[in-house]
Amino acid sequence: MTTVKTNKWSFFSDEPKEQIFDNGGAGNINPDTVDLSYKKIISGKYKSETLSLLKVDDIVISKSINETTFTLSVLDRGTNHTIVRIDVTKTFMDNGITELNDFNGLLIALGSVKDVLVLEINNEGFISAIVNKEEIKAKWFQVKNDLATNKQFNLLKPEDQKSILTGGDEEYLTNFDIVKFLNEGYTLYSMLFCGYWRNYQLQETYVIGSKNKQSAMFKDQVIPINFNYKIKRCNLQSATCQVEIQGVEEQSYNTIGLKKLYEEKYPFAKAEFDDYSYDYDVTLDTDTDTGLVKKLNTTVLEQAGSISMFMDCNIKILTDEKGHTTE
């Protein structure tokens, strides 16, 4: 069964321009468009905090917290794309289960292969290429060699060790599509660039069309999501524009396959699979002078029957290229 979605978010309403545009006493400046692209070679230090919850019959089954500190540097600004570099400097994980947290060091070590990413971002805010593939490959060889003396890795069963090594080889040494993996997942990279755009017409809703996102509830399932972008408000005095982005599953998406997986994976759920929904919601503040995101909040709510997966991510700038510090 597929529920027909309605335009339930406030940004679809046509608010008077004066209510969404504030020039802060800057005179009669009232542009029809606002350029939210990166303006120059700049950088900013950020912190990302993500909470993920899995609920069954309104009971929290699993909870995880991830915190990441990273630097975003704009290396090149072209007409159709921008080259940016991400340097992760600190990672914290808490899965809420002591036995799992004991292996966080190993997980962080494995994730460090992508601690430095040079990405090509298109004008819709989607990753279009990985520029430093060879460096990532070399980092995997380094991490792979270090695993031989990693205590947590050596505590794993031989078959689990083999699975990790094989998975890494497939991801970094074959034609595995890392770009697709990043765009479809919930990584901070895909969320950080999701509002990137050249020019927004005030009051206009931009329909990006269908983009796939990985299901958090059903492994190896991708959900086609329709995205809409719109400026919520602008302030010339603070050089800030707030953009709202909404995404829901395609109305024509057939959920029969998900129903079968639901019955196999969640036989203990009290409610039957009678509906499925995927809601993606982003609000971000962008510096119109530089193009850097000042802060961003992303929530994802995926529901089927009495199972729900909720994710909330907050990204905020700590220090920008102007020397402004928020923490």
Mean pLDDT value across residues 273-291: 90
How many CB atoms sit inside 10 A of residue 200's CB?
21
Q: Average pLDDT for residues 322-326, to the nearest whole number?
A: 54
| Residue spans of alpha helices (H) in the chain | 17-20, 98-101, 104-111, 133-146, 151-154, 158-173, 178-184, 188-192, 256-265
Distance from the Cα of residue 131 to its chain's centroid = 19
Does the residue 180 lie in any domain? yes
In a domain? residue 101: yes
Residue 133 inside a domain? The answer is: yes
pLDDT score at 272: 87
What pLDDT score does 238 carry? 82
Residue 23 has pLDDT above 70, yes or no: no
Of the pLDDT bands very low, low, confident and very high (cuts 50, 70, 90), residue 144 is: very high
The answer to whether residue 3 sits within a structural domain is: no
Number of structural domains (the chain) is 1
CATH code, domain with 32: 2.30.230
Q: Is residue 5 part of a domain?
A: no
Show the domain range for 82. 10-320
Percent of the chain with pLDDT over 70: 86
> Has residue 165 been placed in a domain?
yes
The per-residue pLDDT for 147 is 95
Whether 320 has a pLDDT exceeding 90, the answer reads: no
Q: Which of 148-152, 201-205, 299-303 has the lowest mean pLDDT?
A: 201-205
What are the b/e assignments for 264-274, b being 16+ CB within 10 Å? eebeebeeebe
Tens of pLDDT, residue by residue over 178-233, are 899 888 987 777 778 877 777 777 767 888 778 899 998 998 899 999 988 888 88
CA distance 2 to 145: 49
* 3-state SS string for 234-284: EECCCCEEEEEEEEEECCCCCCHHHHHHHHHHCCCCCCCCCCEEEEEEEEE
Domain-embedded: residue 2: no
**Sequence-distant (≥ 6) Cβ neighbours of residue 55 within 8 angstroms:** 61, 307, 308, 309, 310
Report the C-alpha dihedral over residues 155, 160, 164, 169, rounded to 10 degrees: 130
Establish if 4 belongs to a structural domain: no
Average pLDDT for the chain: 84
